[in-house]
Structure 1
Amino acid sequence: MTAETVTLTEDACWEFLRDRPVGRLATAVAGEPDIFPVSFAAADGHVYFRTYPGSKLVEVAVNTRVALEADEWSPEVATSVVVKGTAEILEHDADLAAAEATGLVSYQDDGKNVWVRITPATISGRRLTR
């Protein structure tokens, strides 16, 4: 059995993201990296997630450069997509409406009321098969 690695196209990366409900948000403040699981939605060339005041929101406010990774694996196939870009805390009505229109459903309905949008600088993905 020969292993194969396929680089995903940008369109394939977005399609993969649209089908995933959860990813990991990577931040770094004062040289300290952090990773947070987030429910997210991909729409119109952006990634959206909701949060509430806390360390994740503080870190995004201090350093807007973030990465988000979503993946999927099975014994035969592993796929990973990484978005690197700029996070923005949404405040304007039009931006909030666009975020709400994604239909994002969080795993926990725990009062997360702050929307964040990631505007990608790069998006890349790979699929590995055994």
Structure 2
Amino acid sequence: MNTETTPAPDFGLSIDQCWMLLDTEVVGRIALIVDAHPEIFPVNFALERRSIVFRTAGGTKLWAAMTAKPVAFEIDGYDVHEQQAWSVVARGEAELIESQQEKDAVDALLLEPWQPGDKDYYLRLSPKALTGRRFKVNNPDLWTTRLSDPRRASFE
């Protein structure tokens, strides 16, 4: 009897694949420590020089990004045609962009805040770790899966 098992396929993404997926999205989530507990904030972002940049107002998000180290950033998605889900996580420290030249470079990427109000602070996350994974999703049970489940699209 053969007791060897075939190892599961490696669904880990390369760093280049992670950057390519990051470049396909415009909204992610930044995870910060606020008052000794984790908080997650949605942010629209752009990529600039292999870093993630976003704008914010003064307040909790800015304070936590500058004082709580490290921070994490995450995006995920689903490819209907391939029936695969994916996730990318960047970890590192956020830094305030103070140079007008660097702010102008970010503005040239058309990074415009979605939420009304002044978002005068520009932050950069240059990942010290960038990981991602992709995996095939289970086929949905069409009788019990919610109508909003994106997996249904490949069967309808």
Which TM-score bucket, shorter chain as reference?
0.7 to 0.9
Relative contact order higher in (CA < 8 Å, ≥ 6 apart): 1
Q: Which whole-Å CA distance do the structure 1 matches of 2:85 and 2:117 have between them?
A: 31
SS at match of 2:101: helix
- Which structure has the greater CA radius of gyration? 2
1:102 corresponding residue in structure 2: 109
Aligned residues: 128
Alignment of 1:40-79 (within 5 A): 40-73=45-78, 76-79=83-86
1:33 aligns to 2:16 (yes or no) = no
Gaps of 5+ in 2: 1-7, 138-156
Q: Which whole-Å CA distance do the structure 2 matches of 1:8 and 1:31 have between them?
A: 31
- State the AA in 1 paired with 2:114: Y
List, as ranges, runs of 4+ consecutive aligned residues in structure 1 with deviation greater than 3 Å: none
Once the two structures are TM-superposed, the CA of residue 100 in structure 1 deviates from its matched residue by 1.8
1:116 aligns to 2:123 (yes or no) = yes
Question: Alpha-carbon deviations, 1:11-56, whole Å to 9, x = none?
Answer: 1100100110100000114421110000011221100000101110
1:16 corresponding residue in structure 2: 21
Gaps of 5+ in 1: none
SS at match of 2:25: coil
The one of 80, 83, 88 aligned to 2:95: 88
- When normalised by structure 2's length, the TM-score is 0.74
- State the AA in 2 paired with 1:61: M
CA gap of 1:67–1:99, structure 2 versus 1, over 3 A, is same
SS at match of 1:15: helix
1:5–1:129 contact (8 Å) kept in structure 2: no
